[in-house]
Structure 1
Amino acid sequence: MRIFLTGATGFIGSAIVPNLLDDGHQVLGLARSEPSADALRQAGCDVLRGDLRDLESLCLGAEQADVVIHTAFDHDFSRMAENCEMDRVAIEAMGSALAGSNKRFIVTSGLPPLMGQVATETDILPAGAHGMPRVSEQAAMALIDSGVSVSVIRMPQVHDRNRQGFAFYLMDHARNHGVSAYVGDGQNRWPAVHRLDAARLYSLVLKNGVSGERYHAVSEEGVTVRDVAEAIGKRLEVPVRSLSEEDSASHFGWLDRIARMDVPASSVLTRQKLQWQPLQKAGLIQDILDSV
């Protein structure tokens, strides 16, 4: 099949590409720059120049493909609301190009932030819940009525030795402030997955995914933020400190909400339905300790 892949040179997309090519698919990768285009050509992909703001290129890619896999997202947290709106518009544009075709559209989303509850694949959260402006999943699922076969893959903290999800930002903050901190007892949890295991799930959803289903790329149900902070402290050789609720905002700034999140998640149904099993030995903590 010919697959249009957004975010093809990104953290997750670049790990998906070799899996798709090994399975005999043709990949048309979206590239914002000529260096990205060159990297895709060297990997064996066809290239379509454009980005998430270029709706014409997105529609062209969708029209030329048998399947669309959407992994691109701008994670600049200083412009989060704007980036979420850009993502919604991009999904709807690609969906309009796929309308009536019953073609597959695999869309990446975040996990439901249920705060203290273990989120499962059956949990559905309305847009804007807990202040989260991202509506990738809602925009994608709305396309089913227009004749698009939509599956959603929900992502936790994705990591390898080069990058470790939100921990990457906490590490940078600890480096700049000389202390690695957590709030209270630090028992709030983040789910996690290695990027190579996450990439394998896309191939399984492509082969056996069902329209209207949500899948969880979760390897570790909940890593405590205290363990994350202690690993960062060990990696950077800085002290580790617990903060009071009152001191958290002034210390973390825009990271305060992230540092407090308690959002464990399960992937039991995904493993049962797709026979997906994480294979990478390194978990989030190990990749923090081994980070480069």
Structure 2
Amino acid sequence: MRIFVTGASGWIGSAVTAELLGSGHRVVGLARSDAAAATIANLGAEVRRGGLDDLDALRAGAADSDGVVHLGYNHDFSRMADAAQTDLAAITALGETLAGSDRPLLIASGVAGLPGRPATERDTADPGVHPRVANANAALAFADRGVRTGIIRFAPTVHGDGDHGFVAVLVSVARERGVSAYIGDGGSWPAVHRLDAAELVRLALEKAPAASVLHAVAEPGVPTRDIAEAIARGLDLPVKSIPAEDAPAHFGWIGQFFGLDAHASSEHTRELLGWTPRHQGLIADLDAGYYLKG
């Protein structure tokens, strides 16, 4: 298949691009900048210039494809409403272009904010947690218009060598504060290795039915205390618990996420797609020193 990928140069997107190419698919990656275009080209994919707000580029990319993976998103937490509006417009443009074709359209979302322990693929996410949740729900509506839509809810931690996401921020906070902390008695974070997540995306493109909700979760809940202790081992720092009321001052913006106590199952996803995560877990990645460079 010829797959159009937004966010193809990003942390997850570059792994997805490599996975698709390695499995015999062709990839066209959306690139706003010269640097993004170079990354995509170096992976062996075609480049389509444009950004998420370039709806003509999105429509053209979707029209010239056998399916779309929409991973691009503006993660500027100071402009969440604007980012959500841009994302919704992009999803609408992609979905309308694919309407009536039965071609796949996969949209990235997250497991944060899901009810239940563990949360399953059948649970409905709370749009109040993040506006991206509402956009994912809007994408599912295109299943009624002849689009093989799928929502992939990624674990909050998609880890591996080179990750600059949440865990890397926690490492930076620990360095700055001189202590590796967790909140209260500690919660838990679902996690998935980047390469396992990329394989799931490929499998979903190839065989997930319309209106599928999938969980890119390998570890249902890694204790946040274990995460803090692993960071402490790597940086040779003490570990301590921070009261919840002191978390914003200690952690900054990431405190609201690190304070979550979330478990998420991927049992249905594994059964549906035959997906079996096989790469090492989050604590093993921390102990390998990937997050402690620099």
TM exceeding 0.5: yes
Partner of 2:88: 88
Partner Cα separation in structure 2 for residue 231 and residue 84 of structure 1: 34
**1:205-248 deviations in whole A, cap 9, x for unaligned?**
11211101111111101001111111112222222111122322
2:19 is the alignment partner of 1:29: no
Change (3 A) 1:255 1:23: closer
Per the TM alignment, residue 115 of structure 1 is displaced from its structure 2 partner at its CA by 5.6
Residues 29-53 of structure 1 show CA distances to partners (whole Å, capped at 9, x for unaligned) of: 1111122212322322111001111
| 1:37-84 deviation line (CA, Å, top 9, x unaligned) | 123223221110011111111111111111011111222323333322
Partners of 1:21 and 1:58 lie apart in 2 by 21
Distance 1:124 1:115, change over 3 A: closer
Aligned residue in 1 for 2:219: 220
When the two structures are superposed, what TM-score results if normalisation uses the length of structure 1? Answer: 0.93
Runs of 4+ aligned residues of structure 1 deviating over 3 Å after TM superposition are: none
Partners of 1:108 and 1:192 in 2: CA distance: 15
Residue 57 of structure 1: aligned partner: 57
Residue in structure 1 matched with residue 176 of structure 2 by the alignment? 176
1:115-152, Cα deviation, whole Å (9 max, x unpaired):
66211011112422xx3222332121022222211011
Name the CA distance, whole Å, in 2 between partners of 1:215 and 1:178.
39
The amino acid across from 1:146 in the alignment is R
How many equivalent residue pairs? 288
- 1:234 — aligned with what? 233
Judge conservation of contact 1:164–1:288 (CA < 8 Å) in 2: no
**1:146 aligned onto 2:145:** yes
Q: In structure 2, what is the equivalent of residue 9 of structure 1?
A: 9
1:143 is paired with a residue whose SS is helix
Indicate the larger mover: 248-257 or 214-223.
248-257
Distance 1:140 1:110 in 2: 14
Q: Does the Cα contact within 8 Å between 1:154 and 1:214 map onto a contact in 2?
A: yes
Deviations 1:67-106 (A, max 9, x none): 0111112223233333223222211111121122222111
Structure 2 counterpart SS, 1:142? helix
Give, in angstroms, the shift of residue 252 of structure 1.
Answer: 2.1
Mean alpha-carbon deviation: is it higher for 111-120 or for 223-232? Answer: 111-120
Relative to structure 1, is the Cα distance of residues 272 and 116 closer, same or farther in structure 2, using a 3 angstrom cutoff?
Answer: closer
TM-score by length of 2: 0.92
Question: Partner residue of 1:78?
Answer: 78
Unmatched segments (≥5 aa) in structure 1: none
- Is residue 244 of structure 1 aligned with residue 243 of structure 2? yes
RMSD: 1.7
Q: Which residue of 2 aligns with 1:133?
A: 131
Corresponding residue for 1:260?
A: 259
Contact map agreement 1:164 1:287 (CA 8 A) in 2: no
1:284 aligns with 2:256: no
1:99 matched residue in structure 2? 99
Distance 2:79 2:236 in 1: 32
Q: Hey, what's the Cα distance between the residues in 1 that align with 2:166 and 2:209?
A: 30
Name whichever of 76-85 and 50-59 sits farther off.
Answer: 76-85
Does the residue aligned with 1:276 lie in a helix, a strand or coil? coil
1:273 alignment counterpart: 272
Distance across 1 between alignment mates of 2:173 and 2:79: 19
2:36 and 2:162 mapped to 1: Cα distance?
Answer: 19
Q: Tell me, what secondary structure is at the counterpart of 2:123?
A: coil
Tell me the CA shift for residue 164 of structure 1.
6.4
Q: 2 CA distance for matches of 1:288 and 1:266?
A: 22
What one-letter code is carried by the residue in structure 1 that aligns with 2:219?
E
